[in-house]
Structure 1
Amino acid sequence: MPRLKVSVIVPVHNTGHYIEECAPSLLGQSLPADAYEVIYVDDGSTDDTLARLEKLAADHPNVQVHTQPNSGWPGAPRNLGLRHAKGEYVQFVDHDDKLGPEALERLYEHAVRNDADVVVGKMSSTMVRPRRLFRHTVDSCTIENDELMQSLSPHKMFRRAFVEEHGLRFPEGPWILEDLAFVSAAYLKAERIAILADYPCYYWMKRDDGGNNTRHRFDPRYGFWDNTRTIVRQIKDGTTPSDDIDALQNRLLHRLYHVEVLSRTREPEILREEPAEQIPRFEAARAVALEEFPQAVREGLPGVSRVRDRLLERGDYEGARAFAEHVRAVTARYRSGPLRWADGCLTADVTLDLLRGDGEPLVLLERDGTWWLDPALLDGVPGGEDGYEVPDPLRHAYAEIVVKDRDREDWWYPEGDLEVRLEPAGEGRSRLVASGQLRLDPERLAGGRPLERGVYDVWGFVRLLGVDRLVRLSARDADGTPEAKTPAAVGPALSGGRIALPYWTAGHQLALDVDQRLRRFGPDTAEAAAANDARAGRALPLPYVTAASGGPVKVKVTVAARTVTARLVPAAEGTSVRLRLPERLDLPSGRHPVTFPKATEPAAYAVVSDGALLRLEGPAYTAGAGRRLLDALAGNPRLRRLRDRTGR
């Protein structure tokens, strides 16, 4: 029997039909079935979950089922799965999530190739925003790469010998944050960590019944604050203390402080919950902040986060609420130059910044060589009349363009970076601006591979002064020239091209339709065709199209009520395509309209003689006397060759 490469460990409790949703992704892996095992551990289910699992095991030799009394949390079942695992690596999966079809094979190969103790696979999700960690595949790193702290869920691949060597186990019983405890310990111990970012490995799915949310996280039975302290101390024990805000320990603790503690002071949480419920959380967060987190962690916060921290430190709940109201009104603004196709990429110059609730830019004030937070954010906030200094306006600031696969929930990252800078705004004020170039390459955007057929929405993400915003790249803020809807023929010429069609959605967001998933070449590009007709000074038979690297693209058209398969072929000048119909149409002699599906107006006219296609004409084409004579004599082979040579 071949060596087991991977053990997949799945804790379950009263899972019901969600087993059938997850199981196909586990059992349909590209890795051979005899190279991996799936270990289900039932945590005392009281419904039909165990019966469903036993049926799976009966039908699949690589599935095993173990049971235990209910523990109330995933930690104990995962630990039991570890005791039964025989694979070289273990992969943790939750019962309501899914794996990409090649996930185990790719993760295992990446692990072995790089001799990794931990492999962090790209996660896609219906519940979370894109994570910068997954911009690039990394062969080998350590915890010094503090972006790893963006991903502390257990849904990763771990070398089993590494887990056993260091005695890594999940806390058992009702223990919220058990995943953070296990993963942060693994990061600290690992000699090599690899990141696989060019393939969606794990789909973290939101359940219809809300069963995988954390609505009970602050219930005293689950020990949220005590557990937070435990994880903080674990990180401190594994790193060296320092007063340097950029020292490793302080960088690792920054994530815990920002997400688990400081979030109790910010929108939406502090504004969503009733004060009677929120104030005890606020006070508990204050105690943990002051007792567990070094001053250097809090000094290293960006501008807006520093204000939240100071209000928390003073125990000023009302001030924190007032500040959160102002920050909640802050929005991101996207501005763009004309969209255009260049070298097979959809490109535009883009700028992102932040606006206050009144629509004015969020600014910093300069006083005696130091920067101070916009006073409009501090109106009514205790201590705000004196202002809040921002020692480093660029602290933790970044921005990026991200693309969401609407069908598959995958986030992709176009090439190129946006630069964040301070830009003068007059009268001693400046604003933070991120700018650069949008550059979407349909043939490389999916981790270096072509995008699959589908629709892709384009977003901008900014983190400025500690304020995170995801903003639609919107037609309202762009120079909406007709070129924005100009399609391109993309793809290798030998294997045949595809149509990539940019358009503005009903919500005014930029989207890219690849291979005519929702939009159609012809009816959905009439506006671009008309604009390009005007620019060229003559009627074109089709919308003006960048050929890029594309080869012929097959399309369906209607010619005189007959549906035929045509091809879009790059024109000689390399900046447009032409429609190529079959040489014989078996239609009566004459001029017949050529129409794309769902279009009402002809895109061209086919001139036919004795069933043979003579030529295509644009809708506004008028034949000269010479052309009419050639058509009249089209049956003469010598004249037909003359016509073909002239191209008229």
Structure 2
Amino acid sequence: MAVIKVSIVVPVHNAGDYIERCAPSLLHQSIGRDAYEIIYVDDGSTDDSAARLDQLAARHPHVRVVRQENSGWPGKPRNVGVRTARGEYVQFVDQDDELTPEALERLHRLATRNASDIVLGKVVGTIQGPSSLFRRTVEHCTVEDTPLIESLTPHKMFRRAFLLDEEITFPEGPVRLEDQLFMARAYVRAKRVSILGDPCYVWNRRDDGGNTSSRATTPETYYGHLRTVVEAIKEGTEPGPLQDHLLRRSYRVELLRPVSEPRILKRTGSSRERYFDVVRRMALDCYPPGVRDGLPAITRLRAHLLEEGNLESLVELARRAQGIRPQVTVDDIRRCDDRLVITTTIGMLRSDGEPLTLVERYGRLLLDPDLLADIKGAEDWEVPHPLGDARGELLVHDVARNLWWYPDTDLAARTQPLGNGRHRVILTGETTIDPLTLAGGTEMPPGTHLVWASAQLLGVGRRAPLTGTPSCPAPFTAGTPPRLVHPAWGGPSGQLSLSVGHPGHISVPHRLFLHATAPPGVRRAARTVLRRLPKDVRGQVRTLARRADPWTAARRD
């Protein structure tokens, strides 16, 4: 009997036709049918999901179906799947998502090569935005040397013995943040983690915008569950820099979210006060001082105002901070051999168009006094390490496939004197786009690719289209067989785009079409129109789109 290398575990509840949408990508993985199994755990579905699953199992010997009474959440079905699995590794997949055709083969190869406890595969799809965690394939790392804590969904590959030996399970029943709790426990115990920089998991937004665990909740319930995640990190680590680093993610993302723009500006009255009271109490109860002290300038100021109880100051800071925008200057763009080299400078501007600055007083650097004027509790806010969290990069977006790629970027942070004791933090340097290696070490596929700039400065994160005035290099060919690369400024914002195709295959009308349809606003409008179509028409349109999908050729029903 062949050794089962991987077990795919899919929790199912009233999935309907999402079963058929997801199944083809799972049934025909390149690793070979004898090397893996698919375990569907039906969590007491009341629609026709059971019949659909039985049909799949009858047609495909490597499909198994497990049934149980409804538990109300994906946690128990996943636990049952792990216990039932026969594979060396377990890959979790949600009922409305997909895998790329070679996902299991590549993930398992990386896992066995490094004896990994966890393998993260690059996530793509209609929900997932860019993540620098998947910039490159990483053979082995741990939570101590890599920002794994930024990826807390469980759609990963796990060594089954690791989960069983360490008794790492999902909480069962309706528990918010169950994914975070599971991943927090796993990360702090994993000896080796690997990251695959190639697309593996396709995370899809449902037609109704929901997911398998989307139910209304209260702030008391939600943050009560977040406390459990915090306690899990504390249980798995010693007090100190590592623990502070891991806890900083939940403080920055979940805890400060309701007291930052846009949410604090959308809520009013008792609703705003209720969230403020809940998160303030948790900040004071659960997080050591080192967590707050390690945050970047504006984020640390929010934490200070929260813990001091200054709700109105948080509201005013949010009003002013929401107007901060990036200033991206393209200093030069040139062709070097068969590569594009782009020199950029990135800074931040306040809503009035003036630079976001630091002011030097008595040997200290203080956060922009004009930004903080008359905000109680924010006076003379010191920024002892202005470059500590400064980072930025250029990104290339493959529009047709919704994939994000990270070219080689060397942007250095520095302070730029503006006179009269004023300084600004900027990022400056070169980015090299190699059409032959950009797409995960392989050639850029045909189509339109848009270039973006992303930066984190003083606790403000922004992404903007790369626009500029320097003349673009002429179209050129690269690789064997040759591919034509056509850089140009275009679209409503004048964004840099790279049109890639075989020589002679990019016609002038095609280029105009690509420029017209590439902007994100056009794509969002198309998705809105699609959601409003009748269900049968929407299905036909999706079928046509899937036929154009470069991965579809490897799928069979």
Partner of 1:446: 439
Q: Cα distance 1:340–1:69, how it changes in 2: closer, same or farther (>3 A)?
A: same
Partner of 2:475: 487
Structure 2 Cα separation of the partners of residues 399 and 202 of structure 1? 25
Instruction: Name stretches of at least 5 consecutive residues in structure 1 with no aligned partner.
Output: 527-648
Alignment of 1:43-62 (within 5 A): 43-62=43-62
Alignment of 1:42-441 (within 5 A): 42-197=42-197, 199-212=198-211, 216=215, 218-219=217-218, 223-242=221-240, 247-384=241-378, 386-441=379-434
Structure 2 Cα separation of the partners of residues 498 and 149 of structure 1? 39
Contact 2:358/2:424 (<8 A) preserved: yes
2:497 equivalent to 1:498: no
Partner of 2:26: 26
Contact 2:327/2:348 (<8 A) preserved: yes
Aligned amino acid, residue 203 of structure 1: V
Q: CA deviation at 1:114?
A: 0.4
Structure 2 Cα separation of the partners of residues 160 and 193 of structure 1? 14
> Which structure has more RCO (C-alpha within 8 Å, separation ≥ 6)?
2
* Larger radius of gyration between Structure 1 and Structure 2: 1
> What SS is found at the alignment partner of 2:409?
coil
RMSD: 2.0
Q: CA deviation at 1:214?
A: 7.2
Contact 1:453/1:517 (<8 A) preserved: no
Instruction: Name stretches of at least 5 consecutive residues in structure 2 with no aligned partner.
Output: 513-557
Structure 2 Cα separation of the partners of residues 335 and 91 of structure 1? 43
Contact 1:513/1:519 (<8 A) preserved: no
Q: Cα distance 1:279–1:220, how it changes in 2: closer, same or farther (>3 A)?
A: closer
Structure 1 Cα separation of the partners of residues 214 and 299 of structure 2? 25
Q: Cα distance 1:70–1:273, how it changes in 2: closer, same or farther (>3 A)?
A: farther
Partner of 2:501: 515
Structure 2 Cα separation of the partners of residues 505 and 19 of structure 1? 40
> What SS is found at the alignment partner of 1:172?
coil
Structure 2 Cα separation of the partners of residues 525 and 33 of structure 1? 42
Q: CA deviation at 1:41?
A: 1.1
Q: TM-score, normalised by structure 1?
A: 0.76
> What SS is found at the alignment partner of 1:416?
strand
Contact 1:73/1:172 (<8 A) preserved: yes
> What SS is found at the alignment partner of 1:133?
helix
Structure 1 Cα separation of the partners of residues 74 and 214 of structure 2? 16
Contact 1:217/1:224 (<8 A) preserved: no
Partner of 2:462: 469
Partner of 2:545: none
Q: CA deviation at 1:519?
A: 8.4
Structure 1 Cα separation of the partners of residues 256 and 308 of structure 2? 13
Q: CA deviation at 1:446?
A: 0.8
Greater fraction of residues in helix: 2
Structure 1 Cα separation of the partners of residues 122 and 246 of structure 2? 21
- Identical positions, percent: 47
> What SS is found at the alignment partner of 2:402?
coil
> How many pairs are equivalent?
511
Structure 2 Cα separation of the partners of residues 327 and 27 of structure 1? 48
Structure 2 Cα separation of the partners of residues 518 and 394 of structure 1? 47
Structure 2 Cα separation of the partners of residues 13 and 518 of structure 1? 50
Aligned amino acid, residue 206 of structure 1: R
Summarize deviations over 1:322-379 as a string: whole Å, max 9, x none. Answer: 1001110000111103432211112221111111101111111111111111122213
2:26 equivalent to 1:37: no
Aligned amino acid, residue 422 of structure 1: T
Q: CA deviation at 1:116?
A: 0.5
Summarize deviations over 1:509-567 as a string: whole Å, max 9, x none. Answer: 111111169983567899xxxxxxxxxxxxxxxxxxxxxxxxxxxxxxxxxxxxxxxxx
Q: TM-score, normalised by structure 2?
A: 0.88
Contact 2:296/2:389 (<8 A) preserved: yes
Aligned amino acid, residue 315 of structure 1: G
Q: CA deviation at 1:162?
A: 0.7
Alignment of 1:522-601 (within 5 A): none
Structure 1 Cα separation of the partners of residues 443 and 259 of structure 2? 43
Q: Cα distance 1:149–1:110, how it changes in 2: closer, same or farther (>3 A)?
A: same
